[in-house]
Amino acid sequence: MSVRTLTLLALLIALTTVATMIIQIPIPATQGYINVGDAMVFTSALLFGPLAGLLAGGVGSALADWFSGYLQFAPYTLVIKGLEGLVTGLIAWGLLKGRPMRTVGGIASMIAGMVIGGAVMVGGYYIVEQFIMGKAAAAEVPGNLLQVLAGVVIATPVTLILRSVAPTLRLPSNR
């Protein structure tokens, strides 16, 4: 892996951490929180592919849990948010197959990836909170769904703008 790739991945992880920490709405029933970090997870996966989504989502979000005092969620977040980014990237990139993002089909592919990746996140936290942590998992589902929706609404235009400004912006391994 080149220095450029490592630097870009570290930047995506840092941006995801900040985006997750900047707005946090606590959910007392589960002792978790709602945030806008999904927007950065989605943007990373859409612009740079599944590996970037996996690392930015997993490591960046888990670091935010750790820095914010939600240590009980960090190991689960590492896996759940990592899978969210991975699935988003795999689906969106698989459906795009060289099609421009700015077409109706391209935007639909991006949204499909984000919605399915978001469903992985909502389901993952529900399973962990209900069956492992013994929390009131259903209390967090509406907030998590809102978090996914906010992520889609933010990541779609951000991704399209960044792609139009820098059309060759890619990880070196994705060229």
What are 119-154's pLDDT values in tens digits? 999 999 999 999 999 888 999 999 999 999 999 999
pLDDT of residue 175: 45
Average pLDDT over residues 7-32: 94
Average pLDDT over residues 82-102: 89
For residue 100, what pLDDT band results from cuts at 50, 70 and 90? confident
pLDDT of residue 172: 52
100: which residues sit within 8 A by CB, 6+ positions away? 106
- Cα(139)–Cα(127) distance, integer angstroms: 13
Helical residues (DSSP H) of the chain, grouped into ranges: 3-22, 37-48, 50-55, 61-68, 74-96, 104-127, 141-165
For residue 169, what pLDDT band results from cuts at 50, 70 and 90? low
For residue 86, what pLDDT band results from cuts at 50, 70 and 90? very high
Mean pLDDT of the chain: 92
pLDDT of residue 91: 95
pLDDT of residue 136: 87
Domains of the chain, each with CATH number or no CATH: 3-169 (1.10.1760.20)
Closest C-alpha to 119, from 88, 74, 76, 156: 88
